[in-house]
């Protein structure tokens, strides 16, 4: 760990000189990449500097404690040592987390797919609620989101909705949302006031650039058709809906939200690239393949990662045994505490793995 830290600090000093070169700005891609690396290493350098400062202060306080004769001053010095040791430990833990190798996918934009599982109309309505929760959280982060495809029900729910989110470190924040989300509440359509249990599946796919995934035209079968809406009504009377089948993998993508066939095809290709990219990454990393398999599941409510209990205003994430009694706030997009807890748990697991 110390060798890794020394190497990073040397690289930070090197970058401190490089980023001041006016010629660098002429190459925007290189400038962007170096500035991102400089920012990340700067956080590590700042944490290391804080540790050195706290360690020096702690040493001074301990010396004062040993040399001081006045009882009151000794007590003050003892309290100062205690406080400084606590802050030093926290700073060292923070640095350990920063030294964990970053997943290159963390900085990627995503395509998120939400599908109604067990529960019929109520599951579709909850799918719409989850979409609003994620879109409102995206707004608080300054991220941009765009609906790629949707299948809306007559009651205003979604059998399926696929959308993209673009911004800083989107995948890092939302990657742990993949899985089955279980909801317990009294449906609006339930006259007797009985609590129903429904399930919705969420899949989070890192979005791939065209340069990252090579999809050959010969490997695609493209069909066009008329788009349909709730109850079988026509959204429009032209053949604007597009279905693309990736023959080697069997992945099928359907897009109909736009009135333009060209726009629907472009969106479908973005979704297809993300799905193929994710599938290939899963083959290369068996642990990711197993994680995806266990998280996404089939939509059955027994395969859950999280439960949303509306009568008790309670959310429980079963993977990290976290329960929060503020479901009303969470459903309005106030999910930062939950996402931070998931990221912290994942980092602790990685730290244990690195240490082991």
pLDDT of 334 over the 60 cut = yes
Q: Are strands 241-246 and 158-166 parallel, antiparallel or unpaired?
A: unpaired
Residue 24 contacts residue 34 (beta carbons within 8 Å): yes
Backbone angles phi, psi at 338, to 5 degrees: -65, -50
Q: Is residue 279 within 8 Å of 251, Cβ to Cβ?
A: yes
What is the model's pTM?
0.73
Cβ atoms of 295 and 288 within 8 Å: the answer is no
Using DSSP's 3-state secondary structure scheme, residue 143 falls into: coil
What's the pLDDT score for residue 297? Answer: 40
What percent of the chain is predicted at pLDDT more than 90?
Answer: 43
pLDDT digits (tens, 9 = 90+) for 249-269: 888 998 988 888 888 888 888
Comparing CA positions, the residue from 205, 244, 176 lying closest to residue 112 is: 205
Query: What's the mean per-residue pLDDT of the chain?
Result: 85
Q: Model confidence over 39-77: pLDDT tens digits?
A: 889 999 999 999 999 999 999 999 988 888 888 888 998
* pLDDT of the residue at 130: 97
State residue 298's pLDDT score.
Answer: 40
* Maximal CA-CA distance, the chain: 92
CB atoms near residue 3 (< 10 Å): 7
Instruction: Report angle CA 116, 119, 123 to the nearest 5 degrees.
Output: 40
CA distances from 203 to 120, 162, 199, 249, 332 (A): 19, 9, 13, 18, 20
DSSP 8-class letter at 345: H
What's the mean pLDDT in 214-224? 87
- In this prediction, residue 106 carries a pLDDT of 86
């Amino acid at each position: 760990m110390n060798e890794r830290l020394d190497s990073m600090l040397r690289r930070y000093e090197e970058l401190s000189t490089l980023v001041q070169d006016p010629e660098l700005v002429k190459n925007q891609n290189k400038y962007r990449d170096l500035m991102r690396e400089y920012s990340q290493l700067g956080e590590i350098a700042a944490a290391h500097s804080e540790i050195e400062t706290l360690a020096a202060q702690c040493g001074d306080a301990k010396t004062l404690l040993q040399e001081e004769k006045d009882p009151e001053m000794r007590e003050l010095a003892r309290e100062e040592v205690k406080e400084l040791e606590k802050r030093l430990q926290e700073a060292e833990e923070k640095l350990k987390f920063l030294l964990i190798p970053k997943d290159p996918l963390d900085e990627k934009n995503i395509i998120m797919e939400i599908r109604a599982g067990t529960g019929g109309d109520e599951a579709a309505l909850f799918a719409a609620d989850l979409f609003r929760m994620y879109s409102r959280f995206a707004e608080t982060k300054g991220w941009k989101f765009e609906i790629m495809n949707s299948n809306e029900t007559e009651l205003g729910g979604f059998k399926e909705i696929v959308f993209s989110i673009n911004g800083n470190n989107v995948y890092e924040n939302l990657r742990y949302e993949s899985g089955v989300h279980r909801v317990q509440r009294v449906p609006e359509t339930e006259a007797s006031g009985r609590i129903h249990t429904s399930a919705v599946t969420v899949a989070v796919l890192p979005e791939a650039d065209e340069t990252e995934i090579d999809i050959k035209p010969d490997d695609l079968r493209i069909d066009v058709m008329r788009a349909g809406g709730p109850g079988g009504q026509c959204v429009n009377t032209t053949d604007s809906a597009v279905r693309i089948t990736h023959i080697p993998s069997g992945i099928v993508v359907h897009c109909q939200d736009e009135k333009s066939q060209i726009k629907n095809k472009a969106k479908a290709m973005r979704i297809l690239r993300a799905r193929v990219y994710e599938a290939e990454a899963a083959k290369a990393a068996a642990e990711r393949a197993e994680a995806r398999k266990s998280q996404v599941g089939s939509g059955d409510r027994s395969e859950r990662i999280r439960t949303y209990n509306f009568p008790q205003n309670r959310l429980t994430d079963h993977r990290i045994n976290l329960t929060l009694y503020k479901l009303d706030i969470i459903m309005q997009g106030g999910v930062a505490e939950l996402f931070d807890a998931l990221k912290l748990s994942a980092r602790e697991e990685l730290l244990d793995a690195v240490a082991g």
